[in-house]
Amino acid sequence: MAACDIPALIVNVQRGGPGLGGIQPSQSDYWQATKATGHGDFQILVYAPATIQEMVDLVGLAFDKGDEYRIPAMILADGMLGQMMEPVKLPEATTKRAVDKPWACCGHQNKREHNILNSLLLSPKELEDLIIQRYKRYDVIKKNEQKWDEYLLDDADIVVVAYGASARVSHTAVDMARQQGIKAGLLRPITLWPFPVKAFESLKETAKAFISCEMSMGQMVDDVRLAVECKKPVSFVGRTGGKIPTPGEVLNKIIEVGGVC
């Protein structure tokens, strides 16, 4: 789909892996979603909801952005969100299209040349040119489509970076840290690709340390390091295999990192 520039929405409610793994919540598909969705040079949009309302809202956004940029999009949720119930406000139904799709294969009605959707380009030059054009589109996406949420970041010394279910745990841990007088805050990426590097622009100067909290062995932590440009220490806290970190575990990491700063 990415190679044919076909928009689509893929939903991955992550469980523990690899292989059959387990059936408890996980965030260990981060690399697959953001870096290695398939073979070849390509990216897809990746949205990470942290509430059920966001699970609803991001569906419409993902479809619209997928159409706008002719790119597949993914909602990368986790088994905890997948099993939760929360009240939601459903958007009003609409039939409006974000964009026209003159490229679509839905019959030429004898009014135009036939459309071809194809990912086979046997000429290396043609394939390289196409990929370079696609990456120019990715640059526009990186510039315009980064999304994130901030919590108590204005004066934060310790910034916890977390998405999805682990962001909800981290939110509680940040509150507990604040009660102990530690200036902690939460930066919650909503787009995982493009990764919200803009959110780090001032934080990497003002904060003292960053913690990536994930339900994996630490897959987003490298993106946090790149966003911080190694100007501040970045450490990891998390659980994997279907285990969810407790607010206490995250708080302990905040205290540990805070003690060093």
Which positions lie near other proteins, rule CB under 8 A? Answer: 4, 105-111, 114-120
Classify 229 in phi/psi space as left (phi over 0), alpha (psi -120 to 50) or beta.
Answer: left
Nearer to other proteins, 105 or 140 (CB): 105
Encoded amino acid at 141, one letter: I
Nearer to other proteins, 2 or 187 (CB): 2
Query: Which residues are within 8 A (CB) of 81 and not within 5 positions of it... i.e. 6 or more apart?
Result: 13, 25, 49, 50, 51, 52, 55, 164, 165
Rounded to whole angstroms, how far apart are CA atoms 43 and 16? 23
Strand order in the sheet with 191-193: 8-14, 72-78, 45-47, 191-193
- Of 86, 50, 68, the closest CA to residue 7 belongs to 68
In the complex, minimum distance from the CB of residue 1 to other proteins, in angstroms, rounded to a whole number: 9
In the complex, minimum distance from the CB of residue 134 to other proteins, in angstroms, rounded to a whole number: 17
